[in-house]
Amino acid sequence: MKILLLGFGNVGKAFRKLVNEKDRAKELQNVKIIGIVNSKGLMIGDNENFKVDKKIDLLQAIDEVQPDVIVDMLPANYNNGEPSLSLYLNALHKGIHVITTNKAPLALKYSEIMKEAEKHNAKVLFQGTVMSGTPSVNLYKVMPGQRVFRIKGILNGTTNYILTKMYEGLDYNSALKEAQDKGYAERDPELDINGFDAAGKISILTNVYFGKNITIHDVKFEGIKNINNELINKTREKGTKIKLIAYSDGKETYVKPLEIDKNDPLYNVNGVLNALEIESDIQNTTIIGPGAGPINAAYGALSDLILLIRT
């Protein structure tokens, strides 16, 4: 199986390392990363050694390499999903599978992408877009026959870290600065703290769990900017906590700060951890784990790759 890897930052490098550890899974024995596209252009190689071949755009790279699978680890562009969106549609039209950790195309054009994949018997796998390597998208695949009523979760580690630190006594600005200093928050953290990032993720999960075709624009979202220490102290006295909750029941989808009590499975999910609770007619399932980090995001893509080979 030949892979064209798009993006070679920390996540891309971690992904190549995992693929090269052939003893990790028998399915990796015949996997080869034969091309990498980064800011310098297209690099051609054989898993280990790559050299810049030429300055080339992404669509040309597909024709040059002729991969079986494209793995997209490019930065998210929420304006229009490009260049990844056009790349997916082009690749899927040719029957090339897509694995992605890039949320934007799916949060903007989920239905269009999936229809193109189905039309040409290709697959789109995207565990790494929500909760990185902690099963969220792929968790649904091992829950056949369950009728899911609602899902809710903590899907953004940055805001969860800030709220956790506020319960430990820091004010909002100090908690944000600490998150930035530790690399948990961007220098411009707007997309995290205003709820936008979590909105993109819950839109993807809504489509997976409820068979919908919504976009991020269908999600009502609110962030944590209005949470202050006075509010934190009031809930602490009551034994409750405020968490930024992403929720969907297939009809209503939103992201907003909610007060939850100690009986809620999400109550003790602190720091940069993420969590997803799934309520069905059979059982309630909660999964907790890292929602970010290069190795975690890379593993999300690797798990998709292994599942793809198995099907």
Could you give the residue numbers annotated as active site?
201
Q: Is 15 annotated as ligand-binding?
A: no
Q: Find where tokens 């550890």 sit.
A: 21
What gap in Å lies between CA 281 and CA 259, rounded to an integer?
25
Query: Does the annotation place 82 within a ligand binding site?
Result: no
Instruction: Give the Cα separation of 70 and 182 in Å (integer).
Output: 32
Beta carbons of 155 and 201 less than 8 angstroms apart: yes
Q: Is 8 annotated as a binding residue?
A: yes
211 carries a ligand binding annotation: no
- The answer to whether the beta carbons of residues 246 and 216 sit under 8 Å apart is no
11 is in an annotated binding site: yes
Residue 186 among known ligand-binding residues: yes
Q: How many CA atoms lie within 13 A of 13 on its CB side?
A: 4
| Element spanning 285, H or E | strand 284-290
- Is residue 19 annotated as involved in ligand binding? no
Residue 268's alpha-carbon distances to 178, 254, 275, 286, in angstroms, are 21, 21, 10, 12
* Whole-number Å distance between alpha carbons of 129 and 291: 9
Binding residue per annotation — 259? no
- The rounded distance, in Å, linking the Cα atoms of 280 and 157 is 25
Q: Which residues are annotated as a binding site for NADP(+)?
A: 7-12
Binding-site residues from annotation for L-homoserine: 186
Binding residues: 7-12, 103, 186
Q: Which residues are annotated binding-site positions for NADPH?
A: 103
